[in-house]
Amino acid sequence: MADLSINLAGIQSPNPFWLASAPPTNSGYQVQRAFEAGWGGAVWKTLGEPIINVTSRFAGLNFGGQRVFGFNNIELITDKPLEVNLKEMDETKRRFPKHTLIASLMVEHKREAWHEIVKKVEAIGVDGLELNFGCPHGMAERGMGSAVGQHPDLIRQQVEWVKEVAQTPVIVKLTPNITDIRFTARAASLGGADAISMINTINSLMGVDLDKWLPIPHVDGKGAHGGYCGPAVKPIALNMVAECARDPKVGIPISGIGGISDWRDTVEFLLMGATGVQVCTAAMHHGFRIVEDMIDGLTNYLDQRGIASVMDIVGKAVHTYSDWGYLNLNYKVVARIHEETCINCNKCHIACEDTSHQCIDIVPDAVTGKERLVVREEDCVGCNLCSIVCPVEGAIEMVEIPSDKAPLSWNQRQAALAAGGSCEL
């Protein structure tokens, strides 16, 4: 069996599956249950000055018959005194010494406050620290969370303060509520962070109650923006992980977060540069035992490919992720419809006719007279839309058309034109 253990910036873990800092890691009881179920690590719910939460505080987005496709919350950090959390963390680490326990921290913008909390949590034997610079609601209004995470200079300064006293690896949790996450990731790296984690939740309003005309969720007739997560945010998170993984100015390990629901999602994040992953919404939806399928799926995936260690796939697809200007303009694919599996629902024809390039015809069969769908390949631009809307897996295939032209990117074309040459498309 493949070795699932990871090393994230010096933090050892029996597998790459961690619970993110969130409601599932609010107590020793929960984290210990998670470790018993098989989770390799947990990031404790953010420590700081205890706050008072509101009710109600969660909302779910259902889409296409799937429950909790997206998830929104207006919950804040721990509502328990620091001493209570530290006692439970100490008990948890003593019971599960081989599992990874990370302390998530958030305090006001003061050097002394950071020094004090770091010393207290490290005294009970945590494996690392995660600085929460990503929370988009509630704490941000108090000058913490994403209020810091949107300013590279503040990130760098506070990381430097932490590194002055920290004895364990420091992970910086970044907010996606920013124009370009690479700049804050670089700031964390310059400040001395050992790793970064991303993404925290996205600013959102989940919905409006059409009967009461109130935000969802609402508290006594008023609502507020919250943090959006769940499967719906995975593409956003995966892009940000890949962007930081391929940026040489970042250059530190990544803990991937955002919409990870199964082992397949995990493999995608690992291939795009994450060393491990953190999960929240999926655990809240299905319970801690989902990690069993995640472990089995990842193990089977690696074993079937003869890969000895999960660390061997970290970042293996990063080199394939580039900018549009480097893509080959002479590469061509077209759609082909397999009649034997086509159910003639005509969704591909409608989509192409109304919103794409009008290259799918409905023609009668010469023998039977039965209508069938045919792609005019000379007019097909290979946009993939027909295969995306088709309800039958594999009924429409995108096929590469060999080209006698050399690969040519937009950047190469512009450079050749600027030099007085010519480029054939």
Residue 119 lies inside a defined structural domain of this protein: yes
Percent of the chain with pLDDT over 90: 95
Give the DSSP letter of residue 396.
Answer: E
Residue 196 lies inside a defined structural domain of this protein: yes
- Whichever domain contains 243, its CATH number is 3.20.20.70
Q: Who's near 417: CB < 8 A, 6+ residues apart?
A: 423
Q: Who's near 135: CB < 8 A, 6+ residues apart?
A: 46, 76, 77, 106, 144, 145, 146, 175, 200, 201, 227
**pLDDT at position 45, please?**
98
Beta-strand ranges (E) seen in 93-198 are 100-105, 128-133, 170-174, 195-198
Residue 1 lies inside a defined structural domain of this protein: no
282 shares a domain with 208: yes
pLDDT digits (tens, 9 = 90+) for 371-381: 999 999 999 99
Split at pLDDT 50, 70, 90, the class of 424 is low
237 shares a domain with 345: no
Task: End-to-end CA distance of the chain: give it in Å, rounded.
Answer: 49
Whether 348 contacts 361, CB under 8 Å: no
The count of domains in the chain is 2
Cα separation, 305 vs 248, whole angstroms: 29
What would the mean pLDDT of 42-53 be, rounded to a whole number?
Answer: 95
The residue from 297, 319, 341 where one domain ends is 319
**pLDDT at position 366, please?**
82
283 shares a domain with 371: no
263 shares a domain with 172: yes
Split at pLDDT 50, 70, 90, the class of 357 is very high
Site of tokens 């480097």 = 326
Residue 296 lies inside a defined structural domain of this protein: yes
CB atoms within 10 A of CB 151: 17
CB atoms within 10 A of CB 138: 21
Q: Could you tell me how many residues make up the chain?
A: 425
pLDDT digits (tens, 9 = 90+) for 18-35: 999 999 999 999 999 999
277 shares a domain with 137: yes
104 lies in which domain range?
Answer: 6-319
Split at pLDDT 50, 70, 90, the class of 365 is confident
**pLDDT at position 137, please?**
87
Cα separation, 374 vs 381, whole angstroms: 15
329 shares a domain with 313: no
Handedness of CA 8, 14, 19, 25 (dihedral sign): negative
What would the mean pLDDT of 311-317 be, rounded to a whole number?
Answer: 98
Q: Which of these is catalytic: 135, 229, 380, 386? A: 135
353 shares a domain with 309: no
Give the DSSP letter of residue 318.
Answer: G
Residue 424 lies inside a defined structural domain of this protein: no
Is residue 312 over pLDDT 90?
A: yes
pTM above 0.75, yes or no: yes
- Whichever domain contains 385, its CATH number is 3.30.70.20
354 shares a domain with 280: no
pLDDT digits (tens, 9 = 90+) for 140-157: 888 888 999 999 999 999
Split at pLDDT 50, 70, 90, the class of 425 is low
What would the mean pLDDT of 345-369 be, rounded to a whole number?
Answer: 94
350 shares a domain with 220: no
Residue 425 lies inside a defined structural domain of this protein: no
The residue from 288, 319, 350 where one domain ends is 319
**pLDDT at position 84, please?**
98
Query: What's the one-letter identity of residue 230?
Result: G
pLDDT digits (tens, 9 = 90+) for 321-351: 999 999 999 999 999 999 999 999 999 999 9
Selection from 350-359, 369-378, 412-421 with the highest mean pLDDT = 350-359
Cα separation, 99 vs 89, whole angstroms: 12
CA angle 50, 51, 54 (to 5 degrees): 150
336 shares a domain with 305: no
Residue 372 lies inside a defined structural domain of this protein: yes
Is residue 423 over pLDDT 90?
A: no
The residue from 271, 301, 319 where one domain ends is 319
pLDDT digits (tens, 9 = 90+) for 122-139: 999 999 999 999 988 889
What would the mean pLDDT of 271-299 be, rounded to a whole number?
Answer: 98
pLDDT digits (tens, 9 = 90+) for 164-215: 999 999 999 999 999 999 999 999 999 999 999 999 999 999 999 999 999 9
363 shares a domain with 334: yes
303 shares a domain with 377: no
397: its two tokens: 């295939």
**pLDDT at position 404, please?**
92
Residue 309 lies inside a defined structural domain of this protein: yes
Active-site residue, 135 included: yes
Name the nearest CA neighbour of 121 among 84, 161, 172: 84
Where are the alpha helices (H) located in 124-249, listed in sequence order? 146-149, 152-163, 181-190, 234-245
